[in-house]
Amino acid sequence: MIRRRRIVKFETRKITIVRPATETIYLWCELCGASVAMVTPESAAEILMTNPRAIYRRVETGDLHFIEVSAGELLICRESLRAQASLPAIVSDAQSE
């Protein structure tokens, strides 16, 4: 009796879709003294056309306002980004009504 060996290979692919939040997050910034839009360091890097590490350096030097939320996640104050990049002022949803 001849023994035959079959090799069966399966390839799988995993697709992960990451989408930005549909709603802007507004939180209290102690240094601004107001409720302002907050963004992630990655989004802040895109806004300032730099990399996330440069954003963390600016946070460490105090150039950008930030808060830490659950599990040590960092959110950057959008108004302090605007001051760094001379971006137009951001109007909140509540103010625009």
Q: What is the pLDDT of residue 62?
A: 92
Lowest mean pLDDT among 26-30, 52-56, 66-70, 93-97: 93-97
pLDDT at 3 over 90: no
Average of per-residue pLDDT across 84-92? 56
| Ordered DSSP codes for the chain | ---------------------SS-EEEEETTTTEEEEEE-HHHHHHHTTS-HHHHHHHHHHTSS-EEE-GGG-EEEEHHHHHHHHTPPPPPPHHHH-
**How sure is the predictor about 90, in pLDDT bands with cuts at 50, 70 and 90?**
very low
CB 60, CB 49: distance < 8 Å: no
Full-model pTM: 0.63
For 8-62, write each residue's pLDDT tens digit. 887 777 665 555 655 678 999 999 999 999 999 998 998 888 999 999 999 999 9
